[in-house]
Amino acid sequence: MPIATVNPANGETVKTYQAMGEEEIARRIQLAEATFRTYRTTSFAERARLMHRAADLLDEDQRDIARVITTEMGKPVRQARAEAAKCAKAMRWYADHAEELLADEEPAEADVKDSGASRVLVRYRPLGPILAVMPWNFPLWQVIRFAAPALMAGNVGLLKHASNVPQTALYLEDLFHRAGFTEGTFQTLLIGSAAVDDILRDERIKAATLTGSEPAGRAVASTAGEMIKKTVLELGGSDPFIVMPSADLDRAAEVAVNARCQNAGQSCIAAKRFIVHADVHDAFAERFTAGMRALKVGDPTDEETEVGPLSSERGRADLEELVDDAVRGGASVLCGGERPDGPGWYYPPTVLTGITREMRIHREEAFGPVATLYRAGDLDEAVLIANDSPFGLSSNVWTRDESEVDRFVRDLEAGGVYVNGMTASHPAFPFGGVKRSGYGRELSGHGIREFCNITTVWHGA
């Protein structure tokens, strides 16, 4: 895949880049290692000062970088500005909390005495250069939620971004440099996917994090396992959105539309499978379908646009194949389902019902504004449908019954359960999944400690 900005709203190639050669890659890895030796000794106060400066610069750049994001991957410009603002918030959160999150810990006094020590500390130390392989769908946020905690912990970062967002990737490197971080603290590698394996095998790279597809996750995990290196993987998702009879149907349907179609539905944590109790199924389906049909699809630079184009022609074709397979298998289309005429890689908000286990869309992730609607006879059946997926990233449940909430929290196979609301990541809360959605956690204290050497310091009596 070429490294290029191709505008998904019209298919025009805006700018192309030459992939970095072996010598430049080697130079950057060496620079990262050399920078780590000194950066790891900087104080939390100094790192926080630099991170706050980077957040301030991002706020100043918000409108400009939002336009770049919209041009590169088609996100409606209002959503792109919101993404930039969210990144600045996370940067400040880690700047303000990293020292506390990584403070030395003292085990219980009784355990210290039992070990024969006079004092024991648990200390969090940085690992070194971390390779980040990141996707295009949230081209700022996916990177910042790695970079902010990693840099605040004293690590340095090397970014291999998706090949269709090179301008955003280069902007991120420039952002940290302008903030005052030394050159080797955060670097962008303009490379194709084929170069990742050799980089990960380099002894100077200490760990890796990847957000992306299952095949990419398997490849990185396989090499990292062979090299015995730590990885954090956030892969696909097909999140359930369960609606029970006690739910506020109007609010549930309103949120469901946004949960499915934000970022044109191109989100791992988007709600994709809508599982509704039989008693309220038809009423919810009517509201939900009307909301999906009412969304404004169009030019992502238009402030009123709610759904822009998909990021690539291949992405739209993959989505169409899933819809066509479901229809051939007997699914009904309540709205959407056909690509519009004209330029750009647009696809309409679509609702499918009558889904069976034999359809590909029941098992595979639909990366676009296509929702599948299921009817559940009771809570047990809702849980069975929800868990009948290879993925387990997050989940949404709508009910006013606390006993039902307890059951869902206990039984749903997911890294998150959002009650009467939409799944959304926040810097203070851990984020990640189970099953084929990956392993490890990002954000919160759990995320910043993923790439730390957790060291026991034992003092004799």
DSSP of 47-78, one letter per residue?
HHHHHHHHHHHHHHHHHHHHHHHHHHH---HH
Say if residues 271 and 256 touch (Cβ distance below 8 Å): yes
Residues in the chain: 461
Torsion of CA 352, 355, 358, 363, to 10 degrees: 70
Active-site residue, selected from the candidate residues 87, 261, 268, 335: 268
Residue 380 dihedral angles phi and psi, to the nearest 5°: -60, -45
Please count the other Cβ atoms lying within 10 Å of the Cβ belonging to residue 109.
Answer: 10
Active site residue 452: no
Give the closest residue to 299 by CA, choosing from 46, 66, 92, 70.
70
CA distance 311 to 35: 35
Six-digit token string for 57: 């610069």
Residue 239: C-alpha distances to residues 96, 224, 260, 329, 357 (Å): 32, 28, 10, 22, 16
CA distance 296 to 432: 31
CA distance 150 to 183: 16
Q: Which residues pair with 188 in a beta bridge?
A: 159
Active-site residue, selected from the candidate residues 83, 234, 365, 442: 234
Give the closest residue to 36 by CA, choosing from 138, 158, 139.
158
Exposure on the CB side of residue 409, measured as CA atoms within 13 A: 10
Active site residue 23: no
Which sequence positions are flagged as catalytic? Answer: 234, 268
